[in-house]
Amino acid sequence: MHTNPLVSVIIPCYNSELFIKDTIESVLNQSYSPVELIIVDDGSVDKTKQIIEECIAENKNIFLYCHEDNKNLGVSKSRQLGVKKATGKYIAFLDADDVWLPNKLSGQIDILEKDSTIILCHSSVTPFSDDSEAKTSELHDFIYQNKSCKYHIKYLSFLVHNHICNSTVVLRADVLKGITFSGSFLFQFEDWLLWLLIGKKGYFYYQNDPLIRYRYHESSSTMGILKSPNQLKHNYSRIELYISFLKFSRQPLYVPYVLFLLAKEILRIYRKY
């Protein structure tokens, strides 16, 4: 009798009381099993933990972790803690405000199980918002192309644009845990760095089907970067990305290009501020 491999779903959260229940339910309603849901609370001061604990009381496959002394250490450290606690063959990432469609995991695990050269699956998204005035054009970076495909990362373009939405990703746990990466990003892009670091380990697979609903709101991390004054945080996040890539990638071929991109961001900040 065939037994499906365990999937560890990791959700870092901080003050997510408005969205976390919908996000959790979208995991519990997956057509695929078995799943362990690992939630890392990053020092929330609202009712997030209470809502999670209520869900745990009804489902033994949900596990809640917090940092020592309930500290707020950021999404990067929270996701890393979740990875350490994961026991599944595959690891899936999900942000605390996004929602999976019911067949999200089943199709992706089927792809990974049938082709051992594929190390990561991701998909397109359906953006949505409670704010009718929200604009979703900024999400273009998540679009790879208009058809499903197996591919290798093209570093020259991927170092400029992140084509992968974090909440759509499922990847092999052994590949992820084999990466030497202990950084902590001040703002965001730690997931972007991860794709760059594992890109040389195997193929990625893009599904041109929207398997998640990507919530677009004022307090989301993406909006936080896009709405920051003169996008200073966005510029700084790119500097963090390029410095970390130089530190961890072990790919000397791309060093000159990354140094060029790094200098470009520093010059952009200098000219603006």
Nearest-CA neighbor of 6 among 63, 65, 66, 52?
Answer: 63
Taking only the tens place, the pLDDT of each residue in 3-20 is 999 999 999 999 999 999
Q: What distance, in Å, lies between the first and last C-alpha atoms of the chain?
A: 64
Taking only the tens place, the pLDDT of each residue in 244-263 is 888 878 788 888 888 888 88
Count of C-beta atoms within a 10 Å radius of residue 250: 9
Distance CA 95, CA 139 (A): 15
What does the pLDDT average to over 65-69?
96
Residues paired with residue 129 on neighbouring β-strands, in sequence order = none
Check residue 224 and give its pLDDT: 47
Helix 190-198 to helix 232-248 angle (10° resolution) is: 30
Question: Which element (helix H / strand E) includes 54?
Answer: helix 48-56
Q: What is the pTM of this model?
A: 0.88
Question: Which element (helix H / strand E) includes 36?
Answer: strand 35-41
What does the pLDDT average to over 228-249?
77
**Placement of tokens 């809640």 in the chain:** 64
**Placement of tokens 């990625």 in the chain:** 204
- 51 neighbors 21 (Cβ within 8 angstroms): yes
Beta-strand pair 118-128/170-172: antiparallel
Distance CA 156, CA 158 (A): 6
CATH class of 7-272: alpha beta
Nearest-CA neighbor of 206 among 106, 137, 107?
Answer: 107
Taking only the tens place, the pLDDT of each residue in 128-175 is 887 644 454 445 455 556 789 999 999 988 998 898 999 999 999 999
Provide the mean pLDDT of the chain: 87
Q: Which residues touch 80 (CB under 8 Å, ≥6 apart)?
A: 182
Count of C-beta atoms within a 10 Å radius of residue 174: 12
